[in-house]
């Protein structure tokens, strides 16, 4: 067992253990922190696979963006020090059964299947190669999905502002009625 | 035993079903969102593993992962905007209390 193997097993154990803690803890803030460690572990696995760019994106977007967003929303919506209510035992047992059955089924399928590798020369996923492919307009290029994603991000940005906008109180009764009606429909 | 494709597939399957477990048992919207993030991450790991071990001459899996990460970020932002709006009107982010959304 080489050092590289040991690092992989350590990272995999870290991911699974913290993911389990994240979905079972009753402190919501701790759940967010455990999720953070899981995401860092997955970024480590990307580094281990030598996909450095994806690992960097994972750290920047997930660890730096989404988890911080989640922590802020916890601060906005949760009383500090309050635990989540206890879950019903029958729901837990049912979920565990479903999950074990699904896991077993998937693993049986994976181990019965033989994957065929290609013999062609590998491309190293350097930032240069990724950038060229990302903006290529010929066949096999990703310029169109790139543009679609930018439209999607713009739509999400505007959507977030519209949804989370606090309605102004005490302006005019007419406007207040309109917003109330609007809220009812939405 | 040297880690290969099957080890990563095992890891991503485990993460996926841990996420499903969290999604089925949790009743708080933010923790459900965290479970969804776990599921999305396991899918990303799968794409990268297939790209690395089966088709290293292409970069399709890598681009799928990049786009999934972008969509996940947008999705998380919209979901949290909805959650905060729900908290303002209902003073709770428990799914049981959000039942009147369907009327």
pLDDT band at A170 (very low <50, low <70, confident <90, very high): low
The rounded mean pLDDT for chain A is: 86
pLDDT band at B72 (very low <50, low <70, confident <90, very high): very high
Q: How far apart are CA B44 and CA A51, in angstroms?
A: 12
Q: How many CB atoms lie within 10 A of CB A130?
A: 19
Residue with tokens 């597939």, as numbered in its chain: B9
- Spatial CB neighbours of B46, under 8 Å, sequence gap ≥ 6: B8, B9, B12
Q: Do B84 and A92 touch (CB under 8 A)?
A: no
Task: Domain count for chain A, please give it.
Answer: 3
Q: How far apart are CA A57 and CA A77, in angstroms?
A: 28
Average pLDDT over residues A162-184: 59
Tell me: do A133 and A172 sit in the same domain.
Answer: yes
pLDDT of B1 over the 80 cut: no
ipTM of the complex: 0.91
Range of the domain at A181: 124-186
Distance from CA of B49 to the nearest CA of A (A): 8
pLDDT band at A19 (very low <50, low <70, confident <90, very high): very high
Tell me: do A3 and A79 sit in the same domain.
Answer: yes
- What top-level class would CATH report for the domain B5-98? mainly alpha
Tell me: do A4 and A63 sit in the same domain.
Answer: yes
The answer, as to whether pTM is greater than 0.90, is no
Task: Give the CATH number of the domain where residue A34 resides.
Answer: 1.20.120.1200
Distance from CA of B69 to the nearest CA of A (A): 7
Among chain B residues, the shortest Cα distance to A113 is held by B6
Is residue B35 within 8 Å of residue B60, measured between CB atoms?
no
Residue B59's pLDDT is what? 87
Tell me: do A20 and A92 sit in the same domain.
Answer: no
Is residue B76 within 8 Å of residue B49, measured between CB atoms?
no
Residue A5's pLDDT is what? 92
Tell me: do A58 and A80 sit in the same domain.
Answer: yes
Q: Which of residues 6-45 of A touch B (CB under 8 A)?
A: 8-9, 12, 15-16, 19-20, 22-24, 28, 31-32, 35, 38-39, 42, 45
Structure tokens that stand for B103 in this block: 């009327």
Is residue B45 within 8 Å of residue B82, measured between CB atoms?
no
pLDDT band at A136 (very low <50, low <70, confident <90, very high): confident
Contacts of A115 in chain B (CB under 8 A): 5, 53-54
pLDDT band at B55 (very low <50, low <70, confident <90, very high): confident
Residue A149's pLDDT is what? 93
- Spatial CB neighbours of A36, under 8 Å, sequence gap ≥ 6: A63, A67
> What is the domain partition of chain B in residue ranges?
5-98
Q: How far apart are CA B36 and CA B72, in angstroms?
A: 9
Average pLDDT over residues A163-172: 68
pLDDT of A103 over the 80 cut: yes
pLDDT tens by residue, A57-70: 999 999 889 999 99
Using CB atoms, pick whichever of A85, A100, A130 lies closest to residue B59: A130
Average pLDDT over residues A16-20: 95
Tell me: do A105 and A162 sit in the same domain.
Answer: no
Residue A78's pLDDT is what? 78
Terminal-to-terminal C-alpha distance of chain B? 56
| Burial class of residue B56, CB neighbours in 10 A (0-12, 13-18, 19+) | middle
Is residue B89 within 8 Å of residue A183, measured between CB atoms?
yes
């Amino acid at each position: 067992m080489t050092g590289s193997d040991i690092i992989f097993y350590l990272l995999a154990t870290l991911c699974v253990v913290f993911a389990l803690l994240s979905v079972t803890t009753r402190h919501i803030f701790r759940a967010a922190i455990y999720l953070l460690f899981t995401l860092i572990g997955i970024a480590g696995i990307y580094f281990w696979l030598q996909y450095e760019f994806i690992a960097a994106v994972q750290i920047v977007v997930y660890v730096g963006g989404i988890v911080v967003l989640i922590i802020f929303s916890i601060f906005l919506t949760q009383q500090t020090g309050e635990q989540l209510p206890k879950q019903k035992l029958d729901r837990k047992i049912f979920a565990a059964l479903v999950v074990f059955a699904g896991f077993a089924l998937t693993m049986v399928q994976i181990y019965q299947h033989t994957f065929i590798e290609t013999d062609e020369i590998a491309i190293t996923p350097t930032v240069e190669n990724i950038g060229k492919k990302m903006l290529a307009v010929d066949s096999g290029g990703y310029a169109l999905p790139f543009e679609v994603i930018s439209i999607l991000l713009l739509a999400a940005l505007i959507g977030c502002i519209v949804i989370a906008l606090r309605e102004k109180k005490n302006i005019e009764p007419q406007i207040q009625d309109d917003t109330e009606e609007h809220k009812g429909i939405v | 035993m040297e880690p290969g494709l099957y080890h990563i597939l095992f890891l991503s399957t485990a993460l996926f079903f841990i996420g499903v477990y969290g999604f089925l048992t949790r009743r708080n919207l933010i923790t459900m969102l965290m479970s969804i993030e776990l599921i999305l991450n396991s899918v990303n790991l799968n794409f990268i593993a297939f790209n690395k071990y089966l088709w290293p001459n292409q970069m399709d899996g890598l681009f799928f992962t990049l786009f999934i990460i972008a969509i996940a970020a947008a999705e998380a932002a919209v979901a949290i905007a909805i959650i905060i709006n729900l908290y303002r009107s209902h003073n709770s982010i428990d799914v049981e209390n959000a039942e009147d959304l369907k009327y």
